Amino acid sequence: MAEITSVAVIGAGTMGSQIGLQTAYAGRHQVALVDSSLEQLEKARALQQHLTRRAVERGRLTEERATAALGRIQGTTDLGGAVAGADLVIEAVFEDLDAKRQVWSELAAHARPDAVLASNSSTIAISRLVDGVPGPERCCNMHFFHPVTVMQLCEVVRGPLTSDETVRAAMDFVRSIQRVPVLVNKEIHGFIVNRILFAAAEEAFRLLEGGYASVEDIDTAVKKGLNWPMGPFEVLDFSGLDVFYGALEDRRRLEGGPGAPAALRERVERGELGRKSGRGFYDHTSR
Ligand SMILES: NC(=O)c1ccc[n+]([C@@H]2O[C@H](COP(=O)([O-])OP(=O)(O)OC[C@H]3O[C@@H](n4cnc5c(N)ncnc54)[C@H](O)[C@@H]3O)[C@@H](O)[C@H]2O)c1
């Protein structure tokens, strides 16, 4: 397995744009940022410039390092060319199994045989993506958190066929970009963080739907009593109610048990998706 000096990130959306930026900040890798949409590549570039400028203004980055970091990122729509030159490929396209399988068959056709291949999926374990991919032992999940330039954690998840060498390379890469890796030894839906979040959120819904306490009081109780920076309903508004709804439904399909609570489903059906739509459990239009 080659030393990782070049990284291709597939998908320049919310996650891919920041995984690319965090990698470039470290100063050790060239980054090819791939998207099928030119417009999305332009948006990603604008976001990276904005975040970099803010980091300089706040004294967290020198002007020289900022310019050098942006210079290491090359946006492109040429997936094959970007992947062919990469030691590590991180897939970060939509959370949709068919879309991801399509991208994985394309990237596998172009990747070098010694490249590490990873998915940033929050819920789709690597074993569901590597059907027909040559060398499934070099594939794993690398689950970063939003926003990547702020959130330090990355869950590295070993699939049934993932080799020790791949796990080591993935963990070392995460450290090399100043993020903190944890290893999930076996695939499980939601990995570590989302399982704990799901458990807390499901209990919060039971309290709400049973009429035991309000949204605001449940969040206040968790913040002041457990010292969490956000309550469960605030976290859902921040991440997107549709994202959480999709994850719960996906878990129900895989593991059985109850699906999404009514208080969540109804809001998603009304288009109340949290901050991104202006309303979720809270009104964000005036915040
Ligand atoms: N948003 C989050 O908070 C978050 C957190 C952790 C992990 N994730 C995971 O990260 C992944 C990406 O999520 P996101 O929120 O960044 O999605 P997003 O919708 O913001 O971005 C996805 C990008 O992929 C691009 N894309 C789609 N098909 C493509 C293809 N065939 N080739 C090239 N580009 C293609 C789209 O144009 C889009 O820009 C998902 O698997 C999600 O589960 C998301």
pLDDT given for residue 29 in this prediction? 97
The span from the CA of 139 to the CA of 209, in Å, is 41
Q: Does 120 qualify as catalytic in the annotation?
A: no
pTM above 0.85, yes or no: yes
Ligand 1: residue of 83, 94, 152 to mutate (most ligand atoms within 8 A of CB) is: 94
For residues 258 and 48, the model is more confident at 48
pLDDT given for residue 229 in this prediction? 95
pLDDT given for residue 61 in this prediction? 93
Instruction: With beta carbons less than 8 A apart as the criterion, state whether 202 and 261 touch.
Output: yes
Q: Which residues contact 112 (CB under 8 A, 6 or more apart)?
A: 2, 84, 86, 87
Q: Does 155 qualify as catalytic in the annotation?
A: yes
pLDDT given for residue 255 in this prediction? 86
- 11 within ligand 1 shell (Cβ under 6 A): yes
| Token code pair at residue 214 | 């309000």
The span from the CA of 202 to the CA of 207, in Å, is 9
Among protein residues, the one whose CA lies closest to atom 9 of ligand 1: 121
pLDDT given for residue 233 in this prediction? 98
pLDDT of 71-98, one tens digit each? 999 999 999 999 999 999 999 999 889 9
Instruction: With beta carbons less than 8 A apart as the criterion, state whether 251 and 198 touch.
Output: yes
- 152 within ligand 1 shell (Cβ under 6 A): no
| Token code pair at residue 244 | 């959480």
pLDDT given for residue 2 in this prediction? 76
User: With left for phi above 0 and alpha for psi between -120 and 50, is residue 283 left, alpha or beta?
Assistant: beta
Average pLDDT, integer, range 120-138: 95
The span from the CA of 241 to the CA of 256, in Å, is 21
pLDDT of 246-271, one tens digit each? 888 888 988 888 888 999 999 999 99
